[in-house]
């Protein structure tokens, strides 16, 4: 089926671009000599995971237990669940492990460690833990130079039901960078902080085989990854307008888009209406921090992902998107009612999450496959 014949709105994934993005990241990581543990919160798809882990050691990262269940059932056994663990989730972790998965969890507080240790006893399990380290993201994590780091390491090692695997950090602040130089500085802070935390644990006689870092911008621009054992970028598989704005990719690297139908022309307001709105595109406007006239996404002809000059989704309602032109009126005649367009998203992770399936193309206009997604929790 040609994508122009798909019902709308629909999520389109270009396998050719995806494969190129995966190969490029694999080459970067090989160049650094670090393992690539792709974060599959972006794709939530086993088919994408196969491409992202091709030629790699096979480990993956997830953000939900739903993803852990889904990927474990499809043969991805080495899973880092990179959201702070709470005791109530450990029953399901133990069940996944009994079925052959190997999960690694994260914690950044004595309370979380104590809770996991207690639950491990009740479940007769041993949980692998990474200590989350804050290298500037100001989200979760202890400081690499803190006494708390060593206290947590000792508490994990002392607990019968816990095993210390190492440290994990995520330089989320890389998303706020405004230049390659800034990204490089963040990447170095991420690397240095993770390496420092690992060294301090080891110097205290604690094990630290895993030193896990990474975000897509820092993975793309890191100059050194010395002391890091693995990186966990995620959105690089698809890229998006936000990553274009940050400078981590170019528009041609964006692998996902939303197919929409033109459903109306409002010439009084200077708008072309489409049937992709707040749900199909999301309300993410992150790329607007980097460029003007991007709104909820850039508009392309249905056959390509080359934006039509100046056209963007200026406004969204639940199932309506309103396309405007940066200057003057949008080209109503070339966007007749019933015609289709493709919208490049601000943030691929968030936009894709509204869709149950990918309609896969391979560089051309034919939809060659449907790939499922593991949404929800």
Distance of CA 67 to the CA centre of its chain: 13
Q: Which is nearer to its own copies, 356 or 363 (CB)?
A: 356
Whether residue 177 contacts residue 186, with contact meaning beta carbons closer than 8 Å, is answered with yes
Nearer to its own copies, 115 or 227 (CB): 115
Q: How many CA atoms within 13 Å lie on the side-chain side of 220?
A: 23
Q: How far is the CB of 325 from its own copies (least distance, A)?
A: 16
- Choice between 192 and 353, CB closer to its own copies: 353
- Quote the least distance from Cβ 118 to its own copies, whole Å: 10
Cis peptide leading into residue 9 (ω within 30°): yes
Q: In angstroms, rounded to a whole number, what is the distance separating the alpha carbons of residues 250 and 368?
A: 25
- Smallest separation (angstroms) from its own copies to the CB of 174: 13
Closer to its own copies at the Cβ: 20 or 303? 303
How many Å apart are CA 259 and CA 7, to the nearest integer?
9
* Cα separations in angstroms, 140 against 54, 81, 329: 30, 14, 46
For its own copies, give the closer residue by CB, 141 or 245.
141
| DSSP reduced 3-state for 351 | helix
What's the burial of 138, exposed, middle or buried (CB within 10 Å: 0-12/13-18/19+)? exposed
Q: How far is the CB of 211 from its own copies (least distance, A)?
A: 21
> Which positions lie near its own copies, rule CB under 8 A?
5, 7-10, 41, 63-65, 83-89, 92, 108-109, 111-112, 115, 134, 138-141, 143, 172, 261-266, 268-269, 271, 273, 275, 278-280, 282-284, 317-320, 322, 336-338, 349-350, 353-356, 375-377
Nearer to its own copies by Cβ, of 35 and 373: the residue is 373
**Least distance to its own copies from the beta carbon of 188, Å?**
21
Q: How far is the CB of 87 from its own copies (least distance, A)?
A: 5
Provide, rounded to whole angstroms, the least separation between the CB of residue 312 and its own copies: 17
Nearer to its own copies among residue 34 and residue 344 (C-beta): 344
Q: In the chain, what is the straight-line distance between the N-terminal and C-terminal CA atoms, in Å?
A: 32
Three-state DSSP at 62 gives strand
Give me the torsion for CA of 193, 198, 199, 201, rounded to 10°: 130
């Amino acid at each position: 089926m040609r994508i122009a014949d798909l019902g709308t709105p629909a999520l389109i994934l270009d396998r050719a671009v995806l494969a190129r993005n995966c190969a490029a990241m694999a080459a970067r990581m090989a160049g650094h000599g670090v393992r690539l543990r792709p974060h599959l919160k972006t794709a939530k798809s086993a088919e994408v995971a196969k491409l992202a882990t091709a030629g790699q050691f096979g480990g993956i990262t997830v953000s939900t237990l739903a993803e852990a269940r889904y990927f474990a059932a499809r043969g991805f056994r080495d899973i880092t669940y990179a959201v702070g663990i709470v005791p109530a989730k450990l029953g399901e972790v133990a069940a996944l492990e009994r079925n052959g998965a190997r999960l690694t969890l994260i914690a950044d507080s004595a309370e979380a460690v104590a809770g996991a240790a207690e639950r491990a006893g009740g479940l007769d399990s041993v949980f692998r833990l990474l200590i989350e380290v804050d290298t500037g993201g100001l989200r979760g994590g202890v400081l690499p130079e803190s006494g708390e780091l060593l206290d947590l390491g000792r508490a994990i090692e002392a607990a019968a039901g816990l095993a210390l695997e190492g440290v994990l950090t995520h330089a989320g602040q890389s998303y706020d960078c405004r230049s390659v130089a800034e990204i490089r500085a963040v990447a170095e802070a991420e690397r240095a902080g993770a390496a420092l935390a690992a060294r301090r644990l080891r110097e205290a006689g604690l094990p630290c085989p895993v030193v896990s870092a990474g975000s897509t911008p820092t993975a793309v621009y890191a100059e050194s990854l010395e002391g890091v054992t693995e990186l966990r970028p995620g959105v690089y598989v698809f890229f998006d307008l936000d990553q274009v704005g940050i400078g981590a990719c170019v528009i041609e690297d964006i692998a996902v888009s939303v197919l929409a139908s033109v459903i109306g022309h409002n010439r009084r307001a200077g708008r072309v209406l489409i049937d992709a709105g707040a749900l199909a595109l999301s309300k993410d406007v992150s790329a607007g921090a980097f460029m003007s006239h991007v709104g909820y996404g850039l508009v392309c002809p249905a056959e390509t992902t080359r934006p039509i000059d100046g056209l963007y989704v200026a406004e969204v309602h639940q199932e309506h998107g309103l396309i405007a032109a940066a200057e003057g009126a949008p080209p109503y005649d070339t966007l007749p009612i019933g015609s289709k367009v493709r919208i490049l998203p601000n943030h691929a992770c968030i936009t894709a999450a509204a869709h149950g399936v990918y309609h896969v193309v391979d560089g051309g206009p034919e939809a060659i496959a449907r790939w499922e997604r593991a949404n929800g929790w």
